Chains A and B, each alone.
Chain A
Amino acid sequence: MGGRSANAKQHRRTMIREITNRLGLGFTTCLGLCLLAAPALRGGVANLRAYPEYLRVDPFGQIVPEDRAAIGTQAAGAHQGQGRRSISLLGARGGYVSFHLVAELSGDEGYSLELRLAPENSGIQTDVYREWFHSIQNAKGYYPDALIPIQLPYSSRLPEPDNRISGQKAQAFWIDLWIPPSATPGLYHGRAVLNAGRNRATLPIELKVLPADVPERDVVTVDHNSYGSSWLGDQYPGLAEELPDFYSSDAFFHLIQAYHRIFYEHRGVFHQLGYGHAGKVGPEFAPALAGAGRNRHIANWDLYDRHYGPLFDGSAFAGTRRGARPIPFVYLPINPEWPASFVNWGEPGYEAEFVNVVSEMERHFREKQWTQTRFEMFFNHKKRYMGFPWDGDEVRFPKDNQYFVEYARLLKKALPPDTPVKFVFRADVSWDMEQQFRELQGMVKMWISSGGILSWYQGAARMLQERGDLVWYYSGPPGVNEASATISKFPFQAWLWGVDGFVHWLAVDPGQDPWFRLVDGTTTVVYPGDRFGREEPIPSIRLKIQRNCLQDLALLDSLRNRHPLEALKSEAAKRYNNSRLENWWNPRPPFADQPAFEWTNTGIGEATSRTSKMLESIRPDAWADVHAYVMQLISEAP
């Protein structure tokens, strides 16, 4: 197919760009390299400092207020609470280690930065990103978050011209060191070098690669949700204006796939819901239909297959470090108005339209061998948006459950009993989850639950998993102006709870002006690369910290064959925030015996206050302490 060929071409271009960005620099085992503690400074106007990932530095060289709490604690003490003039790192194979590298200058001068690492066949790769400093509404000062991929040597000046911060004295860089599974365990040395006029500073880097391997599979699925695709046109105006048929162009589909890739490379998954609350379906999210009643059928798969084909067969991920693999989950476009028209609801024509089209979909997926992905029938609509008379999302009134029962019946009728295609009925639940767990048993097989209310039902996750269901919980990204480790609490809680995943309900909306007036970042963990000439998203510090947390969780969980899982969880919780496992649950409140439509948000708030209070303030170095525990355990491994 022409589309497939163009796809491959674009993908190659992207890969070449990624590869060049990785610098291709390997660390060398030059054990004789001296770790010089002091840089060659002339006049003290050029400094290079390294900070652990949880200490973010502002454009004036100060640690941001929310991370300063870490200074003086044990973990921060190991880094002296300030930037260090050398850094030693420890990591497992098949994973990343990261740190901030900060160039400090007297200001208003040019500089260049490089990492002088003797090339070697270690396979270890370095990704370097310039940290963008955001001005945040309702907060004082600047915070780094968006990460702009750069190539080294990197030359610029302070103040950084595009970031436009008067009096800027420091530029931070996020350094990712990728240790491939093939890397030889041992010590690797290198150095970063900063040149500014006649001044020069060096920072020695030591990396110890352990023989342990970060498991490929995550123990917690972290999902990044989004709605529709009009936001892509908004966030990539250059591309959208350049292409009159942007929403059906190859560039559009490559952009969508780039979002899947960035989350995949950060050990996450990406969801795009393709329909609205009254049933409008975006053209690329569903095959085109024709006919009505018994004659309703799929007329055209073109846009759907161009959108999803490379995602379902994994080719969209070719060349990534994690390897080509089909996406594990996807929303179906099914809603009360698609594929059957609601005008026929309750009549034989509704069933005919639904069964005809869903059967065709199953056949198409089977013929394409798209059998690795879970295809989710999910109802997102709410009555309050006036499209339909029942809540698909977060049922509060039990009478609405009858619609789930009917759709389960229709889905069952549409699918061959032995289909290898993984259709799954998903429900996002809160108020009425306890009743839904009972009444929809055997129908709904994927539960995305309110974290607050799920915290009352300690045995629920296990009960659901034992009958073969998946259980995730949801919340949203922490603000950029919260402590750096805050994002770790979500996957960590999921692991402690024993649930399968966590959803950031909205992860791609940085607001109208993320660069100079970021609201707070609570609806995004990636940023559009458009401003920097990139037709793809760029990551954030929070996304990187989350990825590193997921690596540690995968490692920690893999140790359950040598340590009791409960002991691992207990020790990790203790190190994280000095908590005990029972502190991560709330008692089921007496009002839970009443119908959910009698509850109030105030009551729910009070009934979840124990965990919410415990988690409202996370130490910036909380995860560093867990990471140290993981490194200690895998270092002890035979």
Chain B
Amino acid sequence: MTFLCLLFVMSGLPRSAAQGVPPPAADLPEQLDEVARVGSVMVDGDLCERIVTQRALTYMFEVDPRDRWAAGDNYDVDDAPFIEVKKTLLRLSHLVPFPADVNLWMPIKGRPDKIRIVIRNTHEMSQFWPWGALYQDMIPQMKTVLETGERITVTEKPGWISVLAPVSDSLGDVVGVLEVVTQTQSDAHANVK
């Protein structure tokens, strides 16, 4: 926490400065990469693993033709780790002076072909999340991050920049991926739903 406070002082950016300021065109990837680098240090992978409940994971892949909402209706989280990690993600997003989100993604044990988003944030931005999905097919770049622990910048979708960075646990294993994301032209009305 002390380290984070130091970063805020160094950046000289009050939290409110991140609201509504259009991103400069030039060094966006570099700025996002720096947030991602710090995020990899600050986000606690063990904590992340405790967010989604076993009940939610059990129902996530259950297909019941008589109850097609079962997966969503049984989605639950342990709120203490969720809150702790989300606060860190929010603080990370305040390191840049423009609207950006830091989202947490995690793989699913026993389903290497799938990945899921676990925490989204204020600007509701993601280059990868199809709105509403509990899980989705593994994103190749995220697979690379999970396997190599390297950061990757993705600009596949026009107008979007995401930097993917590893989240590690206390054993040194990569257990999650941060998506530090912004748009070159933010849409104030998208995803207000």
Please give the residue numbers on chain A whose beta carbons come within 8 Å of chain B beta carbons, in ascending order: 227-230, 233, 247, 273-283, 285, 289-292, 337, 341-343, 345-346, 382-390, 396-397, 399, 431, 597, 600-602, 605
Contacts and interface: CB of A to CB of B under 8 A. Distances in A.
Contacts of B16: 289-292
B124 A276 contact: yes
A278 B19 CA distance: 15
B124 A228 contact: no
B87 A342 contact: yes
A439 B19 CA distance: 37
Contacts of A247: 188-189
A275 B123 CA distance: 10
Contacts of A389: 77-79, 82-83, 86
Contacts of A279: 121-122, 124
A579 to B, nearest CB: 27
Contact of A278 (B70, B94, B122): B122
B192 A227 contact: yes
Q: Which of B69, B70, B73, B82 has the most CB of A within 10 A?
A: B73
Contacts of B83: 345-346, 389
Contact of A230 (B15, B75, B134, B189): B189
B86 A342 contact: yes
B66 interface: yes
| Shortest 10 CB-CB contacts between residues of A and residues of B | A228-B192, A389-B79, A389-B82, A227-B193, A230-B189, A384-B75, A343-B90, A601-B67, A282-B192, A280-B124
B119 interface: yes
Nearest to B85: A389
Contacts of A280: 122-124, 191-192
Interface in B131-186: 132, 134
A605 B83 CA distance: 34
B124 A343 contact: no
Contacts of A602: 64, 66-67
B124 A278 contact: yes
Contacts of B187: 230
Nearest to A281: B192
B71 to A, nearest CB: 8
Do most interface residues of chain A lie in helix, strand or loop, or is the interface mixed? loop
Contacts of B78: 389
B189 A292 contact: no
B114 interface: no
Contacts of B64: 602
A279 B119 CA distance: 12
Interface residues on B, range: 35 or more
A600 B123 contact: no
11 contacts: A228-B191, A228-B192, A229-B189, A278-B122, A280-B123, A280-B192, A292-B16, A343-B15, A343-B94, A387-B120, A397-B76
Interface in B54-110: 64, 66-70, 72-79, 82-83, 86-87, 90-91, 94
B118 A275 contact: no
B12 interface: no
A233 B189 contact: yes
B118 A386 contact: yes
A591 B70 CA distance: 17
Contact of B192 (A229, A345, A386, A605): A229
A212 B44 CA distance: 71
B192 A276 contact: yes
Nearest to A285: B192
A275 B69 contact: no
A387 B90 CA distance: 11
Given A229-B192, A342-B90, A386 B66 contact: no
A5 B188 CA distance: 27
Contacts of A228: 189, 191-193
Contacts of A273: 192-193
A337 B75 contact: no
A275 B193 CA distance: 6
B6 interface: no
Contacts of B67: 600-602
B48 to A, nearest CB: 13
A278 B79 contact: no
A292 B188 contact: no
A410 B190 CA distance: 29
Q: Which of B19, B64, B191 has the most CB of A within 10 A?
A: B191
B117 interface: yes
B120 A283 contact: no
Given A229-B189, A384-B75, A343 B87 contact: yes
Contacts of A230: 187, 189-190, 192-193
Nearest to A299: B16
A278 B118 CA distance: 12
A161 to B, nearest CB: 35
Contacts of B132: 384-385
A383 B134 CA distance: 10
A275 B78 CA distance: 24
A283 B118 CA distance: 26
A401 to B, nearest CB: 12
B22 interface: no
B82 to A, nearest CB: 4
Contacts of A229: 189, 192
Contacts of A382: 72
A230 B134 CA distance: 24
